[in-house]
Structure 1
Amino acid sequence: MSESTLYDVVHNDEEQYSLWEAERELPAGWHREGTRGTREECVAHIDRIWTDIRPRSVRERHAHSA
């Protein structure tokens, strides 16, 4: 990995986010979110959008029980 490596922001069905090297094939269950950039840019984007790090199923269970 070099400073010129581009990354994609990816997420899974539980709405958990990560970054993945742009040219690599994604593992099963992960999808590209649409943001591509340097590692720092992608981490900053994830920090802005992923405000509740609980998996979606946990958030939904909590919402239904409240």
Structure 2
Amino acid sequence: MSNPFEDDNAKYRVLVNGEGQYSLWPATLDVPAGWESRLGPDTRQACLDYVEENWVDMRPLSLVRDMERAGS
């Protein structure tokens, strides 16, 4: 059985969690609790491109907030 997370011919979704972290998720699987779909189903490459364009700060949102509070 092939890995459903690495199938270039499968459809995927881009998921985002409450910390602003992104994940590529096979469209055939249910979206897990705590995550929401932002794109898809679409090709793996389209989803990867979306993540590349939109996930510009890899820090969790809680860390960003803590750093902003510490700086003010």
When normalised by structure 2's length, the TM-score is: 0.80
Q: Percent identity?
A: 34
Which structure 2 segments of 5+ residues have no match? none
Query: How many angstroms apart in 1 are the aligned matches of 2:37 and 2:68?
Result: 27
For residues 11-47 of structure 1, give each alpha carbon's deviation from its aligned partner in whole angstroms, at most 9, with x where no partner exists: 11001001111121022211111x1211111111101
Instruction: Choose 1 or 2 for highest CA Rg.
Output: 2
In structure 1, runs of 5+ residues without a counterpart are none
| TM-score scaled by length of structure 1 | 0.87
- Alpha-carbon RMSD across the aligned residues, in angstroms, is 1.3
